Amino acid sequence: MPTATLTSKGQITIPIDVRNRMNVNTGDRVEFIEIGPGRYEFVAVSRSVRELKGMFGKPSKNVSIDDMNKAIGRRGSGPSSRAADFRSRQG
């Protein structure tokens, strides 16, 4: 089991095998999530936007920006839906 030592400055060096498995590099951000009293989970939060590609699969159909805006106008509430109503009445 990999271990690390806390320095006087409150820093640790994450062992290389842990960094590789978590795919974290210099400058990446991590979170410490409390999962119980005195227990934390260490989670990498810095990821490239490119890693999101393909995460949700291919869309079932293509939707234009205009169609999206119309759907938002129909389903929205508050000032944004009133603006959509105003625009639709204008022509």
Predicted confidence at residue 27, as pLDDT, reads: 85
- Give residue 14's identity as a one-letter amino acid code: I
Predicted confidence at residue 91, as pLDDT, reads: 58
Asked whether the beta carbons of 30 and 44 are under 8 A apart, the reply is yes
| CA 15 from centroid of its chain's CA atoms | 25
What is the residue extent of each domain of the chain?
1-53, 59-91
Predicted confidence at residue 79, as pLDDT, reads: 56
Class of CATH domain 1-53: mainly beta
Asked whether the beta carbons of 4 and 12 are under 8 A apart, the reply is yes
pLDDT digits (tens, 9 = 90+) for 53-65: 777 777 788 889 9
pLDDT digits (tens, 9 = 90+) for 5-21: 999 999 999 999 999 98
Q: Which residues, at least 6 apart from 67, have a Cβ–Cβ distance to it below 8 Å? A: none
Consecutive H or E run containing 31: strand 30-36
